[in-house]
Structure 1
Amino acid sequence: MNPEASTESPQETFISHLIELRNRIMKASIAVIIVFLCLMPWAGQIYDLLAYPMMVALPAGSKMIATGVITPFLIPMKVTLLLAFMITLPWVLYQLWAFIAPGLYAHEKKLIAPLVVSSSVLFVTGVAFCYFLVFGVVFRFVNNFAPKSISVAPDIDAYFSFVMTMFIAFGLTFEVPIVVVVLVRMGLVTVEKLRQIRPYVIVGAFVLAAVVTPPDIMSQLLLAVPLCLLYEVGLLVAPLFVRMTQAPTEEPDLH
């Protein structure tokens, strides 16, 4: 850390940091709320967009159901709020950066800024990959597997929970390169060691995919294969990132 010299007492400094943090959180929250209020008139259409992969997989004329009294209102509001957060994510990340940047050395700023930007981009990419590719495969499999005697009519609350679980799983999966880079940059593990445990990572990827995805081989492959590929990307990027962000007197230890 690189704190500036100050005549303030430790307690005053701590309080000033808390006030700054509160102000940054308020600015980020206000932006999310404003975008959410602007999107509210289209909450129904936004939920329809989220439900589109399921509706395409259902038999013609089928619809989802809502078993709760306020569920038809509450679920679209939740989806709209999440969309508002994703739209304002650059502003939220900027507030985070503005809070921590003054206390960092120049080489530490080189470390934080790329991580903040790349982690947000990778998470959104994982969500998009899940929505545009994985959902189509999963929902077609589930609905084709259902017996003809069953009328498939998913509950919107259960659908929302499932979608959020899948979004989080794929979003976090796409963060694997960031995890690899951070581990290597902090000196907790070397690239060579990560290469040595590659077989265990591959097995773990397929075990994780079997746990968080429906029990069909295609959806499991769609999670496990990207996880393995992204692990390899992290191994390639980590040495370059370490060299770019090391302090002037710091010697890299990649092997």
Structure 2
Amino acid sequence: ILAFAFAFQTPLLMVLLTKFGVINTVQMKVYRKWAFLGCFLLASVLTPPDIITQVLLGFPLYGLYEFGVIISTWFEDPKQRELILRRMEAEKQARKNAKQGKTSPKTKNKVVVKKVVIEE
């Protein structure tokens, strides 16, 4: 019963972490599949070893996670969210360019090799 009581504190914890800037909703949305896995791993640890109670805690816990994401968007700074989205888009473009073998003009690396001949 305590596991179910702690599970209902998940949205509150997520809102507090968002308000203090530890996490943001963009990160929460990107890592949804890991949250789903984490919810069921937590449910398997907190419940007795039968599958029914694990599912009875896992699905509501994940539902509360999604509810926490929705509520956290209300408390998140929109400017911060836009900044994070722009940074993620730039990183995505950089990965795409690196995959194609291109480099951006700002990050071109020049290698200069000097040949030194020593005569004896």
TM-score range, shorter chain: 0.5 to 0.7
1:220 aligns to 2:54 (yes or no): yes
Match of 1:246 in 2: none
RMSD: 1.7
Write the deviation string for residues 222-253 of structure 1: whole angstroms up to 9, x where unpaired: 1000110000001111121346xxxxxxx752
Match of 1:177 in 2: 11
Partner secondary structure for residue 253 of structure 1: helix
Unaligned runs of 5+ in 1: 1-166, 244-250
Match of 1:37 in 2: none
Aligned residues of 2:18 and 2:24 also touching (Cα < 8 A) = yes
Aligned residues of 1:187 and 1:253 also touching (Cα < 8 A) = no
Deviation at 1:199, TM superposition (A): 0.9
Write the deviation string for residues 66-121 of structure 1: whole angstroms up to 9, x where unpaired: xxxxxxxxxxxxxxxxxxxxxxxxxxxxxxxxxxxxxxxxxxxxxxxxxxxxxxxx
Write the deviation string for residues 5-27 of structure 1: whole angstroms up to 9, x where unpaired: xxxxxxxxxxxxxxxxxxxxxxx
Match of 1:253 in 2: 80
Alignment of 1:63-78 (within 5 A): none
Match of 2:22 in 1: 188
Unaligned runs of 5+ in 2: 85-120
| AA aligned opposite 2:80 | D
* Alpha-carbon distance between aligned partners in 2 of 1:188 and 1:208, rounded to the nearest angstrom: 21
